[in-house]
């Protein structure tokens, strides 16, 4: 049985919750800060979610299912990275959750994610930090 480590990344963004929500859910904005990744989903609970593109000459297609969706508030999905080398079966999927809360003129963003091990968890935390910084440059 695998141990899943959970990370949480919190930040404040100088933008409205609607702008932050759009940056998290609209494919044309996601592509601008998420390494050119194409996001494919209809955000209906139970629907597929796909992150696909090309990284350093390698095509990838990461997949999962939408688990939770509360417009302008919270969304969660399962996630299996093409790069993980893990078999496509339910126990190999990670869990990712975005929560946003307005705070005056700013928005608090909390990203939670499970990982396979402590090393992966630390790596993911660093990735989220750089992704959110890139997102901030677009929407702030």
| SS3 sequence of 13-26 | ECCCHHHHHHHHHC
Domain spans of the chain? 5-139
Per-residue pLDDT of the chain (140 residues; tens, 9 = 90+): 455 788 899 999 999 999 999 999 999 999 999 989 999 999 999 999 999 999 888 899 999 999 999 999 999 999 999 888 889 998 899 999 999 999 999 999 999 998 877 788 777 888 899 999 999 999 99
pTM, 2 dp: 0.91
As a CATH number, domain 5-139 is: 3.30.530.20
Q: Residue 56: what pLDDT?
A: 85
- Looking at beta carbons, which pairs linking 18-26 to residues 24 or more positions away fall under 8 Å? 18/72, 19/107, 19/139, 20/100, 20/107, 20/109, 20/139, 21/71, 21/72, 21/100, 22/139, 23/135, 23/138, 23/139, 24/75, 24/98, 24/100, 25/75
> By CB neighbour count within 10 A (0-12 exposed, 13-18 middle, 19+ buried), where does 36 fall?
exposed
Q: Residue 11: what pLDDT?
A: 96
């Amino acid at each position: 049985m695998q141990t899943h480590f959970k990370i949480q990344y919190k930040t404040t963004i100088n933008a409205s919750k609607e702008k932050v929500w759009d940056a998290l859910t609209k494919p044309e904005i996601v592509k601008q800060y998420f390494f050119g990744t194409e996001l494919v989903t209809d955000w209906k609970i139970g629907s597929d979610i796909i992150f696909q593109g090309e990284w350093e000459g390698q095509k990838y297609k990461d997949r999962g299912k939408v688990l939770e969706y509360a417009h302008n508030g919270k969304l969660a999905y399962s996630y299996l990275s093409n790069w993980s080398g893990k078999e496509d079966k339910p126990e190999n999927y990670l869990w990712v959750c975005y929560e946003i809360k307005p705070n005056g003129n700013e928005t608090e963003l909390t990203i939670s994610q499970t990982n396979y091990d402590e090393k992966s968890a630390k790596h993911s935390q660093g990735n989220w930090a750089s992704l959110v910084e890139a997102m901030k440059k677009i929407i702030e």
